[in-house]
Amino acid sequence: MLREKGTELPFTGKFLLNKEKGIYVCAACGAELFSSDTKFESHCGWPSFYEAKGNITLKKDTSHGMTRTEVLCKKCGGHLGHLFDDGPKPTGKRFCINSLSLDFKKKKTSVQ
């Protein structure tokens, strides 16, 4: 998935319905990509975020007879998904990301 620029089937990804707090990282190299605080329900079938943590690169993608913006991991170049301009405020962006491209680091809670 990360190297072949594939897309998982919609509504099948392990992180689509994840509500836990933490950081989504690249499954290939561990780079921090998205905070759970920026995840939202887009109803598109893939985990969606309105903002990235900065460890991404954007590239014009003209495959499949359309023009889109591909989202890649800045550290390893792995394919993560695509970026669209139909997300919520404050950015108006929707990073539509494959669960198979992600791992999740759950936020540690302090014990008192």
CATH topology for the 22-103 domain: 2.170.150
Active site residues: 96
> pTM for the complete prediction?
0.90
Q: Are 97 and 81 in contact (CB under 8 A)?
A: yes
Of residues 7 and 16, the one with the higher pLDDT is 16
* Domain residue ranges in the chain: 22-103
Q: How confident is the model at residue 108 (pLDDT cuts 50, 70, 90)?
A: confident
Neighbours of 87 (CB within 10 A): 20
Strand partners, 57: 72
For residue 23, the model assigns a pLDDT of: 97
CA distance linking residue 95 with residue 48, whole number of Å: 5
For residue 64, the model assigns a pLDDT of: 83
* Range from 6-10, 31-35, 80-84 carrying the lowest mean pLDDT: 6-10
Structure tokens at 9: 């089937």
